[in-house]
A and B are shown apart, each in its own frame.
Chain A
Amino acid sequence: MQSIVAKDLTKQFGTFTAVNHINFEVEKGEIFGFLGANGAGKTTAIKMMSGLLLPTSGDALIGGYSIRTESKQIKKHIGYMSQRFSLYNDLTVFENMQLFGTVYGIPPKELKQRINNSLEELMLLDKKNSLVASIPLGWKQKLAFATAILHRPEIVFLDEPTSGVDPIVRREFWKLIYQAAAQGITIFVTTHYMDEAEYCHRISIMSDGCLKLIGTPDELKQQMGVNSIEEVFVKFVNR
């Protein structure tokens, strides 16, 4: 079953086309990497798929629902982690999770349980009542991820979740992603780290709003006749 089906998805800002007729499908439980240079249109695509922006033309089905006409039904089934850290700095770790859990309609008791479990997993339990502003970036990113999947969405969109964090945290973060995928959550992730691209089941490479390549990391390497995704990327962008 497909979690995401993008059909000629297009977004124009005035005369500028940020996302240009992109087509792809993402299977349920898949970790789908979305690569592309700065300004390629990754964030714009994610914003359309998560209901923040209306496509100029084309459509995408998220969990079977159209982002044009059924964005209300989609909301419950997706999680989102924005490119820039966007939890409330003046709220505590717990309060942030409580806020987002509650607006997703998780009953209070259950919510407390889930928050505690999730914080324990992240080893953030002792920071439960600290203001988010006071914790290091790496932990913030993990917290944002945990918050994004607190309501157990079918699909989670991660927009450069590991940018700016150290390699150790990055590895831990990817462990979390794998755990989530193992639970059947579809992961749609953008990144600029080529080593992370190797962790994905499939990747696509975007350039100037167009989707240029799509396939498993091995397929792409073979196709371009190189040994690493980084080389694929460089070779591709230089063309």
Chain B
Amino acid sequence: MKELRMILYKELIHIVRDKITLFLVLAIPIMLVLLFGFTISTEIRNAKVAVLDQSKDSQSVALIDKISSSGYFQVVAYPETESEIDRDFKEMDIKLAIIIPSEFEHSLEKEKIATLQIINDVSDLNVASVLNNYLQAITHDFITEYNHKGSESGTVEMVTNMRYNPEMNSVYMFVPGIITLIMIIVTALMSSITLAREKETGTMNMLLITPVKKVYVIIGKVIPYMCLSLISTAMIILISVFVFKMPVNGSIWLLLLLCIIFMFTAASFGMMISAISKTQIDAMMVTMMGLFLPTVLLSGFLFPLDNMPMFFQVLADVFPAKWFIIAIKDVMIKGSGFFDIWKYLGILILMAIVLITISLTNVDKRK
């Protein structure tokens, strides 16, 4: 154990003294998140909406007023029929349509309940859910004022209708995407490249000649980069959640657990690449071809897998990123709990075990 601690300490020194790399590793993810984040959050102000007012009474007009004066919405169209709403989605790029049914005021007064129908453009699912939250808050304000005036106790119900997004893709999906890439670049690529560098400079031989276990040398290499990638990931999640109000419908702890497990899978890739590659170029090529490209192309976060030929869909299954992305989407958007995603966690853990076993059986062979 003392040896492992020493190796870890040495790796830590390597990392800390390599200021440029350290800076890049920590700063790039944050810069990416800020970049994407600001592009998104500006979209959420002044979202274009269409209102189909079938009631046209004083309360419905008052509600529309409240919505358009909130700053979150900008009513750009007043369609007359539902088919016109479709047209507005296509042509006016509205994010949301509100249908106020006829007799709005009447039902509020008599039945104490009125219904609003909301149609969302959910190609940006999280934008949609953020907008719905805003709308909910506005109608809530509206109804409290209404109740206050007449000491009544009416409610407005919102019925939401999703459109245009069967896959539940979301603009916030760049977050899992960035996390995936960071994990792979830092834990797999950086650790295997620095290990290969030691093979090139000969320091690896100096270590191998000592009684220290080769496994320790590799583990000692991977662990610090795992920590680094975890720090990066935590920062990405924190910034997304607290600065950009990324909706996380599931538990943020589950999200973290998921990231940690994926980190292990990525690290086990790193271990395997470290075990088999002799030079930095080897390590780079293997990581790029064997891990990075498949992740970018086959994980489903850039290119939808459903449209791909069968061969690629099957191929995607053997890389960890796809499962990670599915699980993280489920947690973030559907609010899935541990028991909904344990299968994906299981797959990731299984992959890690297989890879670690392969690298351990290869590691101690002399040639």
Q: Cβ of B208 and Cβ of A87 under 8 Å apart?
A: no
Q: Cβ of A103 and Cβ of B210 under 8 Å apart?
A: yes
Given A78-B209, A86-B203, A87-B203, A71 and B6 contact (CB-CB distance below 8 Å): no
Q: Cβ of B211 and Cβ of A52 under 8 Å apart?
A: no
Bound form: Cα–Cα A84–B13 in Å: 23
Cβ of B3 under 8 Å from chain A: yes
Given A51-B366, A90-B14, A90-B17, A103 and B205 contact (CB-CB distance below 8 Å): no
Residues of chain A with a CB closer than 8 A to B202's CB: 82, 84-86
**Residue in contact with A52 in the complex, picked from B2, B17, B203, B208, CB distance below 8 Å:** B208
**Residue in contact with A100 in the complex, picked from B205, B210, B367, CB distance below 8 Å:** B210
For A54, A72, A84, A88, which residue has the most chain B Cβ atoms within 10 angstroms? A88
Bound form: Cα–Cα A50–B206 in Å: 10
Residues of chain A with a CB closer than 8 A to B17's CB: 90
Given A53-B366, A53-B367, A86-B206, A104 and B211 contact (CB-CB distance below 8 Å): yes
Q: Cβ of B366 and Cβ of A71 under 8 Å apart?
A: yes
**Minimum Cβ distance to chain A for residue B11 (Å):** 10
What residue in chain B is nearest A92 (Cβ atoms)?
A: B13
Cβ of B334 under 8 Å from chain A: no
**Minimum Cβ distance to chain B for residue A196 (Å):** 22
Restricting to B6-25, which residues have a CB under 8 Å from any CB of A? 6-7, 10, 13-14, 17-18
Cβ of B58 under 8 Å from chain A: no
Bound form: Cα–Cα A50–B210 in Å: 10
Residues of chain A with a CB closer than 8 A to B367's CB: 53-54
Q: Cβ of B210 and Cβ of A75 under 8 Å apart?
A: yes
Residues of chain A with a CB closer than 8 A to B3's CB: 102-103, 105
What residue in chain A is nearest B5 (Cβ atoms)?
A: A102
Main secondary structure of the interface of B (DSSP, over half): helix
Bound form: Cα–Cα A98–B13 in Å: 13
Restricting to B97-118, which residues have a CB under 8 Å from any CB of A? none
Restricting to A145-172, which residues have a CB under 8 Å from any CB of B? none
Q: Cβ of A103 and Cβ of B208 under 8 Å apart?
A: no
Cβ of A99 under 8 Å from chain B: yes
Q: Cβ of B13 and Cβ of A100 under 8 Å apart?
A: no
Cβ of B201 under 8 Å from chain A: yes
Bound form: Cα–Cα A105–B216 in Å: 14
**Minimum Cβ distance to chain B for residue A18 (Å):** 13
Bound form: Cα–Cα A72–B210 in Å: 9
**Minimum Cβ distance to chain A for residue B294 (Å):** 33
Cβ of A80 under 8 Å from chain B: yes
Cβ of A76 under 8 Å from chain B: yes
Given A95-B13, A102-B6, A105-B2, A90 and B210 contact (CB-CB distance below 8 Å): no
Residues of chain B with a CB closer than 8 A to A82's CB: 202, 205-206
**Minimum Cβ distance to chain A for residue B9 (Å):** 8
Residues of chain B with a CB closer than 8 A to A80's CB: 205-206, 209
What residue in chain B is nearest A101 (Cβ atoms)?
A: B6
Q: Cβ of B206 and Cβ of A91 under 8 Å apart?
A: no
Residues of chain A with a CB closer than 8 A to B18's CB: 90
Residues of chain B with a CB closer than 8 A to A98's CB: 6
Cβ of B212 under 8 Å from chain A: yes
Residues of chain B with a CB closer than 8 A to A88's CB: 10, 14, 203
Residues of chain A with a CB closer than 8 A to B205's CB: 47, 52, 80, 82, 86
Restricting to B176-224, which residues have a CB under 8 Å from any CB of A? 201-203, 205-212
Q: Cβ of B366 and Cβ of A105 under 8 Å apart?
A: no
Residues of chain B with a CB closer than 8 A to A76's CB: 211
**Minimum Cβ distance to chain A for residue B201 (Å):** 6
A-B contact pairs, 13 of them (CB 8 A): A52-B205, A52-B209, A52-B366, A53-B366, A54-B366, A72-B211, A76-B211, A80-B206, A86-B201, A91-B14, A95-B13, A100-B210, A102-B6
B residues lining the A interface (CB < 8 Å)? 2-3, 6-7, 10, 13-14, 17-18, 201-203, 205-212, 366-367
